[in-house]
Structure 1
């Protein structure tokens, strides 16, 4: 798919509750002209794994609810994504993904600096970063553990995070 000129991915796959496998996003060309990715995969309740490609997300300002409600997902590979300082709103980005265990991302991701970042990891009870930082039932109700400050690769600079370097 050539998506180099797409500026808005809002609700692209939202509510695709019967979708069990999605092949292709790892080959898409996504450029910095994309400015919004709200609810892109929200509600894909049967999708267990998602691998995204080498996407340039530096123009994306909001990615709220991007992966919310993917209740069967265990792994999201965002290792090829490049985020930038324009990404200021990631509220509820992974909210409600109770089976999510692993999020792959490259070291240096800019998501931890998002201005609006509440409930990013809410109800992600099984999520664990590559160095062992874990979100569990007892910490998931405390916003200091579920907010965007943990949207970084675990262990880099001695800081906890819920992403794993790949």
Structure 2
């Protein structure tokens, strides 16, 4: 798919509740012209794994609810994504993904600096970072543990996070 000129991926796959496998996003060319990715995979309730490609997300300002409600997902590979300082709103990005165990991302991702990081990991009670930082039933609903400050690779600089380097 030629996606180099797409500026808005909002609700691209939202509500695809019968989708069990998705091939293709790992080969897309996403450029910095993309500014919004809200609810892109929101509600893909049967999708168990998602691998994204080499995506330039440096122009994206909001990615709210991007992966929310993917109740069967166990793994999201965002290792090829490059985020930038424009990404300021990641509210509820992974909200409600109770089976999510692993999020792959590269060291140095800029998501931890988002200024609107509310409930990013709400109810992600099986999520564990690569160095052992983890959520559970009680911490996954506690605002002290589920904000955007944890949207980074676990253990880098001695800081906790819920991403795993790949």
Q: Give the TM-score of the pair, scaled to structure 1.
A: 1.00
Distance 1:125 1:141 in 2: 8
Distance 2:15 2:165 in 1: 29
Cα RMSD, aligned residues only: 0.4
Distance 1:165 1:2 in 2: 28
Residues 48-95 of structure 1 show CA distances to partners (whole Å, capped at 9, x for unaligned) of 000000000000000000000000000000000000000000000000
Is 1:29 the counterpart of 2:29? The answer is yes
- Runs of 4+ residues over 2 Å off in structure 1: none
Residues 98-155 of structure 1 show CA distances to partners (whole Å, capped at 9, x for unaligned) of 0000000000000000000000000000000000000111211211100000000000
Q: Give the TM-score of the pair, scaled to structure 2.
A: 1.00
Pairwise CA distance, 1:38: 0.1
Distance 1:122 1:57 in 2: 23
Q: Secondary structure at the match of 2:63?
A: coil
Distance 1:53 1:140 in 2: 28
Distance 2:144 2:54 in 1: 30
Distance 1:19 1:139 in 2: 30
Q: Secondary structure at the match of 1:26?
A: helix
Q: Secondary structure at the match of 2:103?
A: strand
